[in-house]
A = this chain, B = another copy of it.
Amino acid sequence: MDSNSVSPMPELAPIAEFDKSPPSPPNEEVPMDDLPPPPATISQPEGKTKLQRTRSYDSEDTERGACEWCEYALVITLATVLLLGVSGLTVFWILYYREGFGWADDIPEKQFNLHPALMVAGFVTFSGFSVLLYRICRCLRRIYVKLLHAIFHALAMPCIVIGFLAVLDFHNKKGINNFYSLHSWIGLTAMGLFGLQYAVGFFSFLLLLICSKGTAGFRASLVPVHAAFGVLTFVLGVAACLTGLTEKALFTIGNETYASMSEESIVMNAIGVSIVGVAIVVLYTVRGTGGHRTRTVAAQHPS
């Protein structure tokens, strides 16, 4: 058994179910400060002790370790390419086909252009990086991972707010009604959830650390709720982007040009496909999050 084979994706799925696991590897000291401390050690029949919350390793450790590192590297590379690519492609589309950005009264369309670019940046790129970092960062202390998670969401927030104001003001300037489409309903819900999640997350997982011990139980019970609503917000953001792209294609390129597979149609569809790709990678990395709740409950009641 190789004690250095540290799995790179720590909490994707609780896998110590058939636990015959070795002691925690040396560098597995990630403080789980939202979880109550596990009931430390239990005695084994052989007289050894072991940490209860460790990964299970078996006779094929080295090979599994290598596979997991490959998966880790692949997910990070793919995610980075897609997350940066989708915003890059959106900016390219607007600069090359839609005359760029602006906030002047004479060309309100340039102001509208801020909407797709900023919403994709906020709901997909920054939010996606934030979720991914939280799931895959292993080498950093937990508090730094949480700060990174908060910072990336903090970067997403002005994007979403300005992106929202851009389209609201554009509609008002052009005399177009607001909040009538499925896109806007989904987007509004996603924005509301985003704000709520940020406020609750910031208060609970950062501010309440001032009284770390006293709030451990509350914070632990909030983790799975925050995770579930986080995934929901992300998925709603993606759905809003896809319906928004469809609307924009039909409004601006027009039905017939869109149907003739113009260059711009293909670029816009490529943006949509990239967003779907991002969603797949992010949902893949957060799979098994549901196990968290039960582990927390079990940790609180170690029988």
A181 and B249 in contact (CB under 8 A), knowing A13-B294, A60-B301, A235-B279? yes
Q: State the Cβ distance, A239 to closest chain B Cβ, in Å.
A: 6
Chain B residues near A16 (CB, 8 Å)?
17
When the two chains form the complex, which single residue of B43, B181, B236 contacts A258, counting CB atoms closer than 8 Å? B181
B291:A246 contact, CB within 8 angstroms: no
**Interface assignment of A107: CB less than 8 Å from any CB of chain B:** no
**Interface assignment of A149: CB less than 8 Å from any CB of chain B:** no
Q: State the Cβ distance, A54 to closest chain B Cβ, in Å.
A: 10
Chain B residues near A276 (CB, 8 Å)?
186, 236, 239
B14:A176 contact, CB within 8 angstroms: no
- Report the Cα distance A235→B280, complex, angstroms: 9
- Report the Cα distance A289→B186, complex, angstroms: 26
A246:B182 contact, CB within 8 angstroms: yes
A302:B18 contact, CB within 8 angstroms: yes
Chain A interface, >50% SS class = helix
**Interface assignment of A99: CB less than 8 Å from any CB of chain B:** no
A residues contacting the other copy or chain, number (CB 8 A): 74
- Report the Cα distance A231→B268, complex, angstroms: 25
Chain B residues near A39 (CB, 8 Å)?
18
Chain B residues near A15 (CB, 8 Å)?
14, 291, 294-295, 297-298
Nearest 10 A-B pairs (CB), nearest first?
A287-B290, A288-B290, A15-B294, A20-B303, A58-B301, A13-B291, A18-B298, A182-B272, A58-B303, A177-B259
What are 16 A-B contacts defined by CB distance under 8 Å?
A14-B14, A14-B294, A16-B17, A17-B291, A17-B295, A18-B52, A18-B302, A20-B303, A43-B45, A45-B45, A57-B303, A64-B297, A177-B260, A231-B283, A239-B276, A291-B291
**Besides the known contacts A235-B235, A288-B289, 8 further A-B residue pairs in the complex with CB atoms under 8 A apart:** A12-B290, A13-B288, A59-B301, A180-B261, A181-B249, A181-B258, A182-B246, A243-B243
